[in-house]
Amino acid sequence: MTHTPYIQAKQAKKKNSNFYTSDGIHVYFKDPLLNDEIDVERVINKIEEIMPLHLRSEIEMIIVGWFEEMEERSINSFYKDGAVYTSNSQQSEEDMYDDILHEIAHSLEHAHGYEIYGDQKVKDEFLRKRKHLHDLLWGTGYKIPENVFMDSEYNEELDTFLYQTLGYDKLSQLVQGLYISAYAPTSLREYFATGFTEFYLEPDHKYLQQLSPALFEKILLLQDSKKLDKHN
């Protein structure tokens, strides 16, 4: 059966119109998607299928569009006040899925920071890796003071060095077998969020467990923890 252009246009509009998920999360399109091959509802359904409800409980809205923060910070998504803001210029459903997972991690960190960081295990693991990265860079001629690397908070100057001076390609090579991705050393918060994302991207978890055992155990505890579940 051949669809007329009118029916096709109507179907495309319906595919990415505002909707509520089965959890009651409001998905709102501030701007239309630039890639009409992406089905946002399918992306959200996939997240709901693999992630326990209590880990999604901090999210009230997902807003698709383009925002000044994305331009200023060169990012595709961010979390703020119960909402995930995700770019309307995603390349694929996989990219959008990855970005939303990452921001769900930040929503949990915001609400349950003590459960994640209180025992210092994730922080200690992160800083051990930071120290190793510092030593690798020092050995290749980048003489950056160690204390800069031993601060777990975001540092704009270090971020600029890693992603502009050093460059993403070289950084990716250096962190292989050390961090889950080149973005993970940015800060403790990004270390947690990249690990959380990897946990739900790779079902067998073997690489994350081997690479970052303390982080892996923390995510596993969060997944199994009923005290985070507002609906119980």
The residue range of the domain holding 10 is 5-111
Same domain? 166 vs 215: yes
Task: Rounding to the nearest 10 degrees, give the CA dihedral for residues 61, 95, 162, 180.
Answer: 100
Residue 229 resides in a domain: no
Residue 143 resides in a domain: yes
Same domain? 203 vs 150: yes
Same domain? 137 vs 175: yes
Q: How far apart are CA 192 and CA 129, in angstroms?
A: 13
Q: Where is the domain boundary, 44, 79, 111?
A: 111
pLDDT in tens, 36-53: 999 999 999 999 999 999
The token duo for 134 is 């510092």
Q: Where is the domain boundary, 77, 95, 111?
A: 111
Residue 208 resides in a domain: yes
Q: Does the pLDDT value for residue 4 go beyond 70?
A: no
pLDDT in tens, 55-89: 999 999 999 999 999 998 889 999 999 999 999 99
Same domain? 121 vs 206: yes
DSSP secondary structure letters along 97-143: HHHHHHHHHHHHHHH-HHHHHTTSHHHHHHHHHHHHHHHHHHHTT--
Same domain? 107 vs 120: no
Q: Quick one: pLDDT at residue 229?
A: 46
| Summary mean pLDDT of the chain | 90
Residue 232 resides in a domain: no
In a 10 Å sphere around its CB, with 0-12 CB exposed, 13-18 middle and 19+ buried, how is residue 38 labelled?
buried
Q: How many domains does the chain have?
A: 2
Task: Decide: 95 and 61 in contact? Cβ < 8 Å.
Answer: no
Same domain? 82 vs 129: no
Residue 32 resides in a domain: yes
pLDDT in tens, 162-204: 999 999 999 999 999 999 999 999 999 999 999 999 999 988 8
Same domain? 17 vs 84: yes
Residue 51 resides in a domain: yes
pTM: 0.88
Residue 230 resides in a domain: no
Q: Where is the domain boundary, 111, 140, 168?
A: 111
Residue 188 resides in a domain: yes
